[in-house]
Structure 1
Amino acid sequence: MSQKWFFTGRYKGYSFQSFQKDLISGVVVGIIAIPLGMAFAIASGVKPEYGIYTTIIAGILISLLGGSKFQIGGPTGAFIPVLFGVVATYGYENLLIAGFMAGIILFLMGVFRLGSLIKFIPRPVTIGFTSGIAVIIFVGQIPNFLGLSNVEKHELFLDNMHEIVLHMGEINRYSVLTAIICLAVLLLTPRFFPKIPGSLIALIVSTGIATIFYPTQVATIGSTYGDIPSNLPSFQVPDISYEKIVQLLRPAFVIAILGAIESLLSAVVADGMTNSKHNSNRELVGQGIANIVTPLFGGIPATGAIARTATNIKTGATSPISGVVHGMVVLLVLLLFAPFASKIPLASMAPILMVVAWNMSERRVFYHVLQTKSEDSIVLLVTFLLTVFVNLTVAVEVGLILAVIIFTKRMGDIIVTEKVLPNPANKHEKVESHVVTDSHDCPQISIYNVEGPLFFGAAQAFEQSIMSTINYRPKILLLRLGRVPFMDTTGEARLSSIVKDFSKHGIVVISGIKSQPKKVIMKTGLYDFVGEKHFFEHTGDAINYALTQLNTNKCLGCRHFAFKECTALSGTTDNFIEKKTVYQHSN
């Protein structure tokens, strides 16, 4: 990676005062990240230290190599149901391989500049799966909150609910007390001590009380998962085979897409808070490298963390150095205080994750979209329900398919094809549809105004609307395509069908065609079939040409007077014309 890529604009004007701010921000965010890293790892079905390793390695690499100056990376709540599903189905070793593959996918997305494509994922889909994930996380922490023992974790939500109900008679009052103390401190700390990380204070207070008064009555990290080692694991390349790559390709792709969405959303939030601009492709490259390296040290997949990034900015961060400091702080805590972390009760971790779930639930936006009672509400509900009751992969796939279908229908409804004529009451004689009547319409020239994208979802309606109204076989068909911004091959095929059918007995003239549709019909040969002389930039020039192609014998005695030239062509007296005009204006 070049120096230009590494340093561009990220440390411009950096000073010792900037470093001081980054140091403070990094320490604060690092302290916040410690309990979250362990909690996310436990909820994902792996040992808590793997969340710590991820926070350190991925956090540092994402800050150094990503596209946002303020991004804080690490394990996040959004990954929990996906990672737990992979661990439950394939095991921890294969999770490392899936994370490694996801890193490669993210890296390639950034290299091929696909970062901007993430913005095309509809908001109802992201709200739906985010809210669904929040429900899964919240419900998943009920056993730890209540101190239920021997609760088997399942991949499906309903199975987990059934398991909780079965063990409801085993509630541990000490665990409930510990969880309530932790939750109370967690909620009250921001109100009375806004600058102190609430999650850390809540852990310290609830762990201290449990350790002093009832040390053997609650399950702890150490008693459940073993002591947390006070060092990083050794470098180890996962055992990758072709069969495993094929087997894990789908979960790896889901991890990559979810990671891309989360990291770029976080970067956008950071932009809004700092009036800066991130580089989406560079962000994906940084995320990719971090997720390639982290599994080599036993870490789980990571992405940009919105809450930690926002905290980083609020505490005064000025550059990626704060993210590096955050990772170093977590490493220092791991080396010095790992034995103490083993004494943390699982009941103390539960409220932290529940609050995370509550904050990420998008409940206000969820309700707002439901209130619209639109197609977006359907996409939102379907994505949400599938996330909760099936899995995130199916939810996103179905949500996107539904969104595409609805978008296609909406775009198809936008296409407007209407018959028009010049309005004599307008001094510029603009063509308008309301002037076309049974008594005011040219029998030889039909002018159609086409407005909207001419693509597969609208092409059939476009063809039918024209073909059904030219049964009387006019001589000239003038198509105004100035308001057709886009045409695909299906739209071209329908247009070609109209042109070729009409050309058997008449002339097709086209005005105002835009560059993209023009390129399409030039590639297919339709442009040459119509003939260059039949294309005009302005409708007025096209009408003038069409008038020269009329059968003047049919104009004699015509009473429609669709064009100003009709007076001379029809051979009608001026007195009749005057009466006709007065009649038209009076009606």
Structure 2
Amino acid sequence: MSQQNPSRPNRAWLFFPSLPQAALRYDIAAGLTLAAIAIPEQMATARLAGFPPQIGFFAFLAGSLAFAAFGSSRFLSSGADSTIAPIFAGALALLATRGSPQFMALASFLALLVGGILALGFLLRAGWVADLLSVPVTTGFLAGISIHIFISQLPALIGLPSVEGSEFYRVAEMAKHWREANPAAIAIGLGALATIIIGEKISPKLPAALIALAGAAFAVRYFHLEESGVAVLGKVSAEFPHPRFPEIAPADLPHIVGLAIIISVVIMVQTAATSRSFPNEEGRAPDVDRDYLGVGAGCLLAGLVGAFAVDASPPRTAIVSATGGRSQLSSIVAALVIAALLLFGASLLEHVPNAALAGVLMFIAARIFRLHVMRDIYSKTHGEFALVALTMAAVVALPVQTGVSLSILASLLHGVWTTTRSRLITFARLPGSSVWWPCTSSGAEPYGERLEGVLVTAFQAPLSFLNAYGFQNDLRKAIEEKPKLVVLEASNIVEIDYTAARILSQAIEDCRAAGADFAVARLESVRAQEAFARYGVMRTLGEGRLFRSVDEATKALAPK
């Protein structure tokens, strides 16, 4: 049998002989490392979501196996993720008691809905959805989520009972009872956090979180810390669930549908970012839509086995890439290791202290709080930094799903506002050349020359209903100078909609009514050309008024 090039995507991962022997070794090594990273992370994320730790393992198994079957990326790791866990856990806690059978059924049903939406995204080729959230909004959203994680895990870290309610109420309750904090729990939690931080600095490939949990469990048993009030996981069920459809009350369905849309958008953004950060081949665009299908299939499988929605994980994917993984076989190896742990080693998890899991989540919270990105945004644009701060405040101060919804809305409004700021600019010809260039915007005399009676202007954005009226007003002001010829340099008008086409046709007629001829130069976009023909702009423009360059237009139509 001929060997396949390991640098190319390999969809036949089930047939081990079809992979080169060296690639198999790399995948097995990467899978073992991935399992060591995923075991503590999946347990901690399940706890964050309000589930027993083994449910995090089931989510990882579902996400890994489904993505290996349906996804495109060779590196992407799918499973329980701390980005979406606080969102759905906080929202579902308003409908059912966290950890109750009703809560778990709602989370499983939510996973099915999210999986269906992601599968629909694959069918509709909805990769563009990932571009709806700008970097400032994403940064503020992740910062708000990290604060949620920090506040929710602080009681476990210091040995206090967990408290339900808003973030402000939780902080107030902890402030009232801080004298009741357990020194042993604090030592274990901070020790686990310190171990992970030091291990990460030594090498990201080092399973520092697993080492921290193992050391914490040993300390609990050796020093009998349970007798000192240190809470532990307790018995972990090794029973694998039977696939079944979760049952929920019809009255809860409207709440779940809206939440599923929010979760799906967040997963799409994170999946696309992960796929683009770790492409299968350099210079080749990833198949983001196919990866939506892989993660969506993982959500569907997770919902059927009683787990919750899964997501792509950038840190785990980076581990697979850094340790030489060549295919999704690495995720399958990790899944087999975790399945073996559940079957034969569940008793090893009973003495893992909750404070140590809180330390793992604290580290994750610190990692997604992108302080360096905030500093960079602040140094370059205070306006967009305000968007970071507002998004972070909304996610923290409001119910999580409301804050995330407002974050998405803020990103869309920011994009709309940016588009509406586009205005007409004037061009001048560089002396001794045929090049026309934008004039200065400072009001000073432009470096260039103008032809008498000729106005060359440009609109540097797609022309749509969002900015078409501003375009029309700017052009009306410009023709008050009574030019004999107006040339619209249209190289940046890559699209035009029906509203804008009508306004552009009216603007052409306004120019002619004012005694000015009108021409269009450098309409390079094929979509814009088709829109000109479809909406009748070409008919209004007339024959001989569309040119390949401004210089060509002025030579043909400028007054002599």
Cross-structure match for 1:3: none
2:186 maps to which of 154, 165, 176: 176
Q: Which amino acid aligns with 1:327?
A: A
Equivalent residues of 1:417, 1:450 under 8 A apart: yes
Secondary structure of residue in 1 paired with 2:486: strand
Amino acid at match of 2:228: Q
How far 1:304 moved relative to its partner? 1.4
Among 455, 467, 473, the residue aligned to 2:464: 455
Instruction: Give the equivalent residue in structure 2 for 1:74.
Output: 79
Q: Give me the whole-angstrom Cα distance separating, in 2, the residues matched to 1:125 and 1:356.
A: 19
Report what 2:195 is aligned to. 185
Structure 2 Cα separation of the partners of residues 406 and 27 of structure 1 = 43
Which deviations, in whole Å up to 9, do the C-alpha atoms of 1:508-564 show, x marking residues without a partner? Answer: 4313252444433333333323433444445566456646xxxxxxxxxxxxxxx5x
| Cα distance in 2, alignment partners of residues 233 and 78 from structure 1 | 25
Go from structure 1 to structure 2 and tell me whether the alpha carbon gap of 1:408 and 1:11 turns closer, same or farther (over 3 Å shift): same
SS of 2:298's partner is helix
Contact 2:50 2:89 in 1 (8 A): yes
Shift of 1:252: 0.6
Residue 308 of structure 1 is matched in structure 2 by 316
Larger Rg: 1
| Counterpart selection for 1:15 from 1, 17, 20 | 20
| 1:122-149 C-alpha deviation (Å, 9 max, x unpaired) | 1111111112111211222110111013
Distance 1:178 1:336, change over 3 A: same
CA displacement at 1:174 relative to structure 2: 2.2
Measured at CA, do residues 298 and 483 of structure 1 come closer, stay the same or move farther in structure 2, by a change above 3 Å? same
Distance (Å, rounded) in 2 between the aligned partners of 1:40 and 1:281: 26
- Is residue 59 from structure 1 mapped to residue 80 from structure 2 by the alignment? no
- The range that moved more, 389-398 or 375-384, is 389-398
Aligned 8 A contact 1:31 1:330 in 2:
no
Q: Provide the rounded CA distance (Å) in 2 between the counterparts of 1:76 and 1:47.
A: 15
Runs of at least 5 residues in structure 2 that lack an aligned partner in the other structure: 1-7, 96-102
In the alignment, residue 149 of structure 2 is paired with which amino acid?
Answer: I
Partner of 1:143: 155
Residue 130 of structure 1: aligned partner = 142
Does residue 1:499 correspond to 2:508, yes or no?
Answer: yes
**Residue in 2 aligned with 1:106?**
118
Q: Which of these residues, 464, 468, 479, is aligned with residue 477 of structure 2?
A: 468
Distance 1:178-1:274 versus aligned 2 partners, 3 A rule = farther
Paired residue for 1:163?
A: 173
Match for residue 272 of structure 2 among 240, 264, 270? 264
The amino acid that maps onto 1:249 is: V
* Distance in structure 2 (CA, Å) of the matches to 1:247 and 1:430: 56
Which 10-residue stretch deviates more, 528-537 or 165-174? 528-537
Give 2:356's aligned residue: 348
**CA, structure 1 residues 448+397, in 2 after alignment: closer, same or farther (shift >3 Å)?**
farther
Q: How does 1:146-545 map to 2 (within 5 A)?
A: 146-149=158-161, 151-154=162-165, 156-190=166-200, 196-214=206-224, 215-223=226-234, 227-239=235-247, 243-271=251-279, 278-418=286-426, 426=432, 428=434, 445-453=453-461, 454-471=463-480, 476-486=484-494, 487-504=496-513, 506=515, 508-512=517-521, 514=523, 515-539=526-550, 542-543=553-554
TM (norm. structure 1) is 0.82
Q: In structure 1, the residue corresponding to 2:490 is in which secondary structure? A: strand
Aligned residue type for 1:118: A
Distance 2:436 2:281 in 1: 48
Q: Give the 5 Å matches for 1:30-41.
A: 30-41=35-46
How much identity, in percent, do the aligned residues show? 19
Write the deviation string for residues 89-146 of structure 1: whole angstroms up to 9, x where unpaired. Answer: 2322111111110011011112211124313421111111112111211222110111
Distance in 2 (CA, whole Å) between partners of 1:275 and 1:528 is: 42
What is the match of residue 94 of structure 2? Answer: 89
RMSD: 3.2
1:516 to 1:177, Cα distance in 2 relative to 1, 3 A: closer
Cα gap change, 1:218 to 1:201, in 2 (>3 Å): farther
Tell me, what secondary structure is at the counterpart of 2:279?
A: helix
Q: Indicate conservation of the 8 Å contact 2:487/2:553, yes or no.
A: no
Across the two proteins, how many residue pairs are aligned to each other?
532
Q: Distance in 2 between matches of 1:276 and 1:524?
A: 36
- The 1:111–1:193 alpha-carbon spacing in structure 2 relative to 1, beyond 3 Å, is closer
Q: Which runs of 5+ in 1 are unaligned?
A: 1-6, 548-562, 566-587
